[in-house]
């Protein structure tokens, strides 16, 4: 193959199209009464060109019309543009599928982009989408100054005003979060190198637009899509194909469609908390060159000054940086454990240390089994895992056995491993919080707690030995990002799985009709941060739990009992006599199914929304819990 | 690659793009014969052809192409 080692447009982390694509697609469509979500997601997890994307998107439409898949998360995306986006649609659908999202696209007519936002009765506004993608091209924005006879020819202000006005209008008219794209640099310069520094050139104007977007979009609760970086990375020569702009207003080359759509889809998935959380590393020829069992600590290649060694160090540096931003690291290697640990202890070229690894499994069991063990130890789902492994056989086996684990293709050249891992976007995020910073340590603490639990005589002794402290507060601006993150990504311990945007969360902070709680827990292994969220509809006589979710890493610690004590105390104080709970079953939240029963609620039957439960507050005896409630708390109303 | 090879590869591309596995792809086939061969269908057909044969057409050529036969001839000329 003459192509360069790494080409972003070809999504090199995905396996190439399998020969049986069409027949597998047909057999999924022909099957009845089975969940098609996992099979379709696996089909989408390979490199697709336009024709395959269209075939897959069409099959997806047929299947969804028969019934939604419980293994996919629904998301409604408005699509507005000042360019032709007909070809974007099927790619967005299949790329979302790849990330576990069943995407419904509501597309406005070509060019109707500002009107669509301003008119409350427009197609997109009436559809009340979860988010709206502003797929705009700079050539359709008013960058060119109105007076064409004098300097400067371009101005970023009218363009920025239009975009920010559109965002505000969608917020006002349908409450949707906007996905706002940064703009790629123009293909042509006016002076040359001078353009970048001279206000009024197109290059400088677009740069100013992007700077405004970077500082304003997230602050307004919207989400930035960095298409500028994407186009740079692809290369502007390849990104722009002016023939198709002139003929059909297509904003970029067709060849860039797959990567563009994946780039958008991974952000949509991140908004739903579907980003991966744990990176599992193979060792031999993934973290270092050579085989530790054969070559020994002195024989492996992982030092500066050696090209292969530097390539492997780049993989370690990438993993280490991911850890710093909250991704948990684990090791899964077919090796004897002392041998596998020896480079971490004694090779001076190693950037990763044993302390960076939350779970270290080196044995001769098959990798799928070990990956399941790692997920259990960390109390994370398999769909939160990424496996980095140079061995194509292991990759294929894990993909087959555990289709929800992400397994990037790596090829033979270690110089691209780090780049492939990072370019795949597994750890895409729409916010960065203090909790993220502490997370990797928390998971490590978790694994240590599991060890302590094994040595404690009984659960209560163990829990008391943790010296847990619990702290309650109502929703506030400081916690807003983390609260929104938990509401949108918690799937397992979540009684209703209702999702709210940051704007809705912000409205709850001051709502007189709602009672809200953010719950923090500390113990002697560290601060777990905010691990629980409660929202109640607070009617005068009775409260109803709209949302109750908890982070899986603090389960089985009787924290739910402490939370129940607190809700009941506050409900009574407010004069309520009953507390209702609703359990809405999903494929993922089985572990929360018995919550209300365990807390002493009585079943009152099923409604259209789920199983209903009630607690008579007069008869409630507070639980004796192994946690200290800490400090003088904010009034949680 | 001779014209027959080009013709047969183009037939597969056209069938896929116009979503019709039984489409009779003759040299005379034009947008008048295929409903899906509208302006966007034309762009799909042309870009897929460019990719498959590693050729690039000018805008005049793209806008002037009316039949499969013309595409075959143009690919042959450029490759």
The backbone torsions φ and ψ at residue A166, rounded to the nearest 5 degrees and listed phi first, read -65, -40
CA distance A192 to chain B (A): 27
Q: Do A87 and B58 touch (CB under 8 A)?
A: no
CA distance B15 to chain A (A): 10
Residues paired with residue A154 on neighbouring β-strands, in sequence order: A144
Closest Cβ–Cβ partner in B19, B44, B57 for A50: B44
Q: Which residue has the tokens 């909250």?
A: A326
CA distance B52 to chain A (A): 12
Interface of B with A in 24-43 (CB under 8 A): 39-40, 43
pLDDT value of position A433: 79
Q: Do B59 and A248 touch (CB under 8 A)?
A: no
Closest Cβ–Cβ partner in B17, B39, B57 for A248: B39
A49 to chain B: nearest residue by CA? B48
CA distance A243 to chain B (A): 6
pLDDT value of position B62: 95
Side-chain half-sphere exposure of A415, counting CA atoms within 13 A? 6
CA distance A42 to chain B (A): 22
B20 to chain A: nearest residue by CA? A55
Coil/strand/helix, residue A534: strand
CA distance A218 to A270: 14
Q: Given strand A101-107, what is the order of strands in its sheet?
A: A101-107, A73-81, A131-135, A177-181, A223-225
Closest Cβ–Cβ partner in B40, B48, B59 for A246: B59
Residues belonging to chain A: 637
Structure tokens at A520: 């923090």
Q: Do B62 and A243 touch (CB under 8 A)?
A: yes
CB A42 within 8 A of CB A69: no
The backbone torsions φ and ψ at residue A282, rounded to the nearest 5 degrees and listed phi first, read -75, 165
CB contact A3 to B (< 8 Å): no
Closest Cβ–Cβ partner in B48, B51, B62 for A247: B62
Q: Do A247 and B63 touch (CB under 8 A)?
A: yes
pLDDT value of position A466: 80
Q: Do A243 and B40 touch (CB under 8 A)?
A: no
pLDDT value of position A527: 79
Residues paired with residue A223 on neighbouring β-strands, in sequence order: A179
- Mean pLDDT to the nearest integer, B60-67: 94
Q: Do A247 and B43 touch (CB under 8 A)?
A: yes
The residue among B11, B13, B16 with the most chain A CBs within 10 A of its CB, best to mutate, is: B16
CA distance A157 to A160: 5
> Which among A155, A156, A176 is positioned nearest to A166, based on CA atoms?
A176
Question: Largest Cα–Cα distance of chain B, in whole Å?
Answer: 31
CA distance A253 to A514: 49
A contacts of B43 (beta carbons < 8 Å)? 244, 247-248, 250
pTM equals 0.76
pLDDT value of position A290: 94
CB A503 within 8 A of CB A539: no
CA distance A394 to A364: 13
Q: Do A247 and B47 touch (CB under 8 A)?
A: no
Low-confidence ranges of chain A (pLDDT < 70): 1-4, 450-458, 631-637
Q: Do A87 and B48 touch (CB under 8 A)?
A: no
Q: Do B62 and A51 touch (CB under 8 A)?
A: no
Closest Cβ–Cβ partner in A51, A86, A247 for B17: A51
Report ipTM for this prediction.
0.93
CA distance A159 to A137: 11
Q: Do A244 and B51 touch (CB under 8 A)?
A: no
Residues paired with residue A471 on neighbouring β-strands, in sequence order: A520
CA distance A352 to A565: 44
A contacts of B51 (beta carbons < 8 Å)? 255
B45 to chain A: nearest residue by CA? A51
**Residue A234: left (phi > 0), alpha (psi -120 to 50), or beta?**
alpha
CA distance A135 to A83: 8
Q: Which residue has the tokens 């989400």?
A: A223
B42 to chain A: nearest residue by CA? A248
pLDDT value of position A379: 85
Interface of A with B in 68-107 (CB under 8 A): 84, 86-87
B17 to chain A: nearest residue by CA? A51
CB contact B76 to A (< 8 Å): no
CB A73 within 8 A of CB A101: yes
pLDDT value of position A451: 60
pLDDT value of position A218: 92
CA distance A209 to A182: 8
Coil/strand/helix, residue A66: helix
CB contact B16 to A (< 8 Å): yes
Q: Do A246 and B44 touch (CB under 8 A)?
A: no
> Which among A16, A82, A71, A24 is positioned nearest to A250, based on CA atoms?
A82
> Which among A173, A177, A182, A385 is positioned nearest to A268, based on CA atoms?
A177
B contacts of A254 (beta carbons < 8 Å)? 47
CA distance A280 to A388: 6
pLDDT value of position A457: 56
Structure tokens at A342: 């020896």
């Amino acid at each position: 193959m003459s192509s360069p080692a790494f080409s972003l447009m070809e999504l090199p982390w995905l396996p190439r199209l399998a020969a049986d694509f069409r027949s597998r697609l047909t057999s999924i469509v022909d099957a009845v009464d089975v969940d098609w979500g996992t099979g379709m997601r696996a089909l989408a997890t390979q490199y697709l060109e336009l024709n395959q994307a269209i075939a897959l998107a069409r099959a997806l439409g047929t299947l969804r019309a028969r019934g939604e898949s419980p293994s996919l998360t629904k998301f409604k995306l408005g699509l507005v543009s000042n360019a032709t986006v007909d070809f974007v649609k099927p790619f967005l659908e299949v790329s979302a599928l790849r990330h576990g999202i069943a995407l419904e696209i509501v597309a406005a007519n070509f060019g109707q982009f500002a009107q669509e936002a301003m008119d409350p009765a427009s197609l997109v506004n009436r559809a009340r989408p979860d988010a709206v993608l502003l797929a705009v091209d700079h050539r359709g924005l008013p960058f060119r100054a109105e007076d064409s006879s004098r300097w400067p020819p371009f101005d970023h202000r009218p363009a920025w005003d239009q975009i920010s006005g559109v965002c505000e209008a969608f917020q006002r008219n349908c409450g949707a979060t906007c996905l706002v794209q940064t703009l790629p640099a123009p293909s042509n310069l006016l002076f040359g190198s001078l353009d970048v520094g001279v206000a009024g050139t197109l290059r400088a104007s677009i740069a100013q637009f992007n700077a405004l977007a970077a500082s304003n979009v997230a602050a307004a609760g919207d989400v930035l899509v960095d298409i500028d970086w994407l186009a740079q990375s692809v290369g502007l020569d390849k990104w722009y194909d002016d023939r198709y702009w002139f003929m059909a207003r297509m904003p970029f080359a067709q060849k860039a469609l797959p990567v563009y759509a994946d780039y958008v889809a991974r952000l949509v998935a991140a908004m739903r908390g579907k980003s991966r959380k744990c990176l599992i590393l193979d060792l031999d020829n993934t973290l270092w060159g050579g085989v530790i069992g054969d070559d020994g600590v002195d024989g492996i290649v992982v030092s500066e000054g050696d090209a292969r060694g530097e390539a492997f160090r780049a993989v370690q540096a990438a993993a280490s940086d991911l850890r710093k931003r909250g991704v948990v690291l684990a090791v899964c290697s077919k090796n004897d454990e002392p041998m596998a640990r020896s480079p971490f202890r004694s090779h001076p070229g190693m950037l990763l240390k044993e302390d960076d690894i939350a779970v270290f499994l080196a044995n001769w069991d098959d990798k799928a089994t070990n990956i399941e063990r790692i997920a259990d130890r960390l109390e994370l789902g398999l769909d939160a895992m990424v496996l980095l492994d140079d061995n194509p056989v292991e990759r294929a086996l894990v993909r087959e056995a555990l289709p929800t684990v992400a397994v990037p293709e790596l090829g033979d050249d270690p110089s691209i491993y780090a780049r492939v891992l990072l370019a795949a976007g597994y750890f895409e995020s729409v916010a960065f919080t203090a909790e993220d910073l502490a997370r990797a340590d928390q998971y490590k603490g978790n694994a240590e707690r599991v060890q302590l639990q094994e040595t404690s005589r009984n659960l209560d002794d163990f829990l008391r030995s943790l010296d847990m402290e619990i702290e309650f507060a109502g929703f506030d601006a400081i916690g807003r990002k983390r609260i929104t993150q938990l509401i949108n990504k918690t799937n397992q311990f979540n009684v209703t799985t209702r999702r709210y945007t940051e704007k809705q969360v912000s409205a709850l902070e001051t709502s007189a009709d709602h009672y809200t709680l953010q719950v923090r827990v500390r113990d002697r292994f560290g601060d777990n941060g905010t691990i629980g969220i409660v929202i109640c509809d607070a009617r005068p006589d009775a409260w109803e739990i709209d949302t109750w979710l908890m982070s899986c890493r603090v389960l089985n610690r009787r924290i739910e009992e402490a939370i129940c004590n607190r809700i009941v105390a506050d409900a009574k104080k407010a004069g309520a006599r009953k507390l209702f709970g609703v359990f809405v079953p999903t494929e993922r939240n089985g572990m929360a199914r018995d919550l209300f029963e365990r807390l002493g609620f009585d079943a009152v039957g099923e409604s259209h929304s789920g199983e209903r439960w009630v607690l008579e507050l007069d008869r409630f005896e507070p639980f004796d819990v192994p946690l200290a409630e800490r400090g003088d708390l904010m009034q949680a109303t | 690659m001779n014209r027959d090879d080009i013709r047969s590869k183009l037939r597969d591309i056209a069938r896929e793009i116009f979503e019709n596995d039984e489409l009779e792809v003759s040299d005379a086939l034009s947008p008048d014969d295929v409903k899906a061969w509208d302006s966007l269908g034309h762009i799909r057909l042309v870009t897929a052809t460019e990719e498959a044969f590693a050729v690039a057409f000018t805008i005049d050529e793209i806008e002037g192409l009316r039949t499969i036969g013309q595409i075959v001839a143009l690919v042959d000329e450029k490759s």
